[in-house]
């Protein structure tokens, strides 16, 4: 679960990470009232779960109430990369001497945590990584060893942070580790981490992603729920208990098993199609599951064709075929379907599927042929 900046800063505060005093506001009036309380100058910040708010005009300094009003008016309702701003974070403005970068995340390929610090903060870190990779100091962290102050001092020095910032930045980095580790984050990122003109180091931004697998030991995370901006397709899939990930393409995909579902996405891409989703229907693939899966894919307005890719193991081919036929009776499907059914009792399954009119459903004997046909149908119906 991704947090809004203000929630990330609240989370940081639990671990002692310094941030600026601030308050949320959902209207222009509330924004001005909060700004008056905080004292000027303030920063008016769009709360959306997407980066680059500053560049998009979603972060503005206000020297007085009149400016706070103007900025709040302009930013509320603004569309930032498809995210509409419904909430503002107003905070006391900082006098910035330097902008740095600091983060902890999981390096899956190394099977270790990764700490990254850079003296080049405030800008897009992916761009720094691409154009000036030497400007980012990296250090892997073994969860058994943790991240002691000595390690923090070394990273901060390697990153070339200004002398005045090093000790407070190292202390903050240890707190950020505690937040990431004890707080069960997938990502805890501060960009920019600033050195103020009066020599303090604190977090000016917060990007926190919580590890949903750890939710069971964090009842307090409930306060963050409900503010999620979820893909409506993923929401529907979750309600129906399906393993679904929304993608951008036109070919809806249903497969049994996560590995096969991923391969299906790859093969559709390979033949020039674009997958609309990843969907693993699981082992059973019975009529109810198939109907649920078809319903979720049917609700995606971008879908032009559907590719059902089933390899029967324990699930027998005729069960799957009956499931599909029954599901088609329950749900009115807008797109043509291409099925590749193989494995146990596949022939019997294909015989059952042959009863469905070809304009609604076609079978293909192999994965690649089925992918080609689905991609072709999607193109024809674009």
Task: Catalogue the active-site residues.
Answer: 101, 189
Positions of E strands within the chain? 22-25, 42-46, 59-62, 79-80, 83-84, 88-92, 96-107, 112-118, 136-141, 185-196, 201-203, 207-210, 243-246, 251-255, 277-280, 305-312, 337-343, 361-363
Closest listed residue to residue 264, CA positions, set 367, 378, 373, 372: 367
Asked if 191 interacts with Mn ion (CB under 5 A), we say: yes
Closer Cβ to ligand GDP, 51 or 284, answer by number: 51
Binding site for ligand GDP (CB under 6 A): 43, 51-54, 59, 61, 93-94, 96, 99, 122, 191-192, 204-205
Closer Cβ to Mn ion, 9 or 372, answer by number: 9
Closer Cβ to ligand GDP, 208 or 378, answer by number: 208
Identify what 53 binds: Mn ion, ligand GDP, none; CB under 5 to 8 Å per kind.
ligand GDP
The strand pair at 305-312 and 251-255 is best described as parallel
Give residues with Cβ within 8 angstroms of 111, minimum separation 6: none
Closer Cβ to ligand GDP, 99 or 178, answer by number: 99
Q: Considering CB under 5 A, how many residues would be counted as binding Mn ion?
A: 2
315 is in an annotated binding site: yes
The strand pair at 201-203 and 243-246 is best described as unpaired
91 is in an annotated binding site: yes
Position with the least CB separation from ligand GDP: 54
Identify what 282 binds: Mn ion, ligand GDP, none; CB under 5 to 8 Å per kind.
none
The dihedral of CA 369, 373, 375, 376: what is its sign? Answer: positive
Report the distance separating Cα 290 and Cα 324, nearest Å.
Answer: 6
99 is in an annotated binding site: yes
Contact 152, 174 (CB under 8 A): yes
142 is in an annotated binding site: no
Report the distance separating Cα 164 and Cα 184, nearest Å.
Answer: 31
CB of 149 to ligand GDP, least distance (A): 26
54 is in an annotated binding site: yes
Which residue in 205, 280, 295, 318 binds Mn ion (CB under 5 A)? 205
Distances (CA, A) of 242 to 145, 254, 292, 296, 348: 38, 10, 8, 9, 27
CB of 234 to ligand GDP, least distance (A): 24
281 is in an annotated binding site: no
Structure tokens at 336: 């043509």
Choose the stretch contacting Mn ion; rule: CB under 5 A; options: 38-46, 109-117, 191-199, 280-288.
Answer: 191-199
CB of 46 to Mn ion, least distance (A): 12
Closer Cβ to ligand GDP, 90 or 137, answer by number: 90
CB of 311 to ligand GDP, least distance (A): 44
CB of 93 to ligand GDP, least distance (A): 4
CB of 331 to Mn ion, least distance (A): 44
314 is in an annotated binding site: yes
Distances (CA, A) of 67 to 5, 58, 70: 22, 14, 5
Closer Cβ to ligand GDP, 93 or 296, answer by number: 93
Identify what 378 binds: Mn ion, ligand GDP, none; CB under 5 to 8 Å per kind.
none
Choose the stretch contacting Mn ion; rule: CB under 5 A; options: 27-35, 198-206, 317-325, 359-367.
Answer: 198-206
DSSP string of 195-236? EETTS-EEES--EEEE-GGGGGG-GGGGGGTT-----HHHHH
Coil, helix or strand for 68?
helix
* Bridge partner list, 106: 113
Identify what 277 binds: ligand GDP, Mn ion, none; CB under 5 to 8 Å per kind.
none
The strand pair at 59-62 and 42-46 is best described as antiparallel
197 is in an annotated binding site: no
CB of 96 to ligand GDP, least distance (A): 5
Place of tokens 């903050």: 172
Closer Cβ to ligand GDP, 122 or 168, answer by number: 122
Closest listed residue to residue 172, CA positions, set 13, 347, 318: 13
Length of the chain in terms of residues written: 382
* DSSP H or E run through 367: helix 367-380
Residues annotated within a binding site for Mg(2+): 191, 205
Contacts to Mn ion by CB under 5 A: 191, 205
Residues annotated within a binding site for substrate: 256, 313-315
Residues annotated within a binding site: 45, 52-54, 91, 94, 99, 191, 205, 256, 313-315
């Amino acid at each position: 679960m991704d947090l809004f900046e203000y929630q990330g800063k609240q989370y940081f505060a639990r671990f002692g990470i310094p941030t600026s005093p601030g308050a949320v506001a959902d209207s222009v009036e509330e924004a001005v009232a909060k700004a008056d309380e905080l004292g000027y100058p303030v920063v008016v910040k769009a709360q959306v779960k997407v980066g680059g708010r500053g560049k998009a005009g979603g972060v503005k300094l206000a020297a007085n109430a009149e400016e706070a009003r103007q900025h709040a008016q302009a930013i509320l309702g603004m569309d930032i990369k498809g995210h509409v701003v419904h909430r503002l974070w107003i905070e006391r403005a900082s006098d910035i001497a330097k902008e740095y970068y600091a983060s902890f995340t999981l390096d899956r390929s190394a099977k270790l945590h990764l700490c990254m610090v850079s003296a080049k903060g405030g800008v897009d870190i992916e761009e720094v990584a691409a154009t000036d990779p030497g400007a980012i100091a990296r250090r892997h962290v073994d969860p058994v060893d943790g991240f002691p102050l000595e390690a923090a001092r070394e990273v901060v020095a390697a990153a070339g942070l200004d002398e005045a910032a090093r000790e407070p930045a190292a202390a903050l980095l240890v707190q950020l580790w505690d937040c990431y580790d004890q707080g069960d984050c997938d990502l805890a990122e501060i960009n920019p981490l600033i050195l103020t003109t009066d020599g303090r180091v604190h977090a000016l931004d917060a990007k926190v992603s919580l590890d949903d697998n750890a939710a069971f030991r964090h009842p307090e995370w409930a306060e963050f729920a409900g503010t999620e901006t979820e893909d409506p397709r993923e929401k529907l899939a979750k309600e129906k208990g399906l393993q679904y990930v929304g993608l951008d393409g036109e070919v809806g995909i249903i497969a049994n098993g996560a590995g096969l579902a991923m391969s299906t996405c790859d093969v559709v891409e390979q033949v020039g199609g674009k997958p609309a989703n990843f969907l693993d229907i699981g082992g059973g693939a019975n009529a109810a599951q198939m109907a649920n899966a078809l319903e979720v894919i049917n609700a995606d307005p971008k879908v032009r064709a559907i590719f059902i890719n089933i390899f029967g193991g324990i699930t027998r081919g005729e069960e799957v075929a009956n499931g599909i036929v029954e599901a088609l009776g329950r749900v009115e499907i807008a797109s043509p379907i291409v099925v590749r059914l193989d494995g146990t009792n596949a022939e019997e399954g294909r015989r059952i599927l042959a009863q469905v009119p070809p304009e609604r459903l076609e079978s293909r004997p192999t994965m690649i042929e089925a992918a080609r046909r689905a991609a072709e149908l999607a193109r024809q119906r674009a």
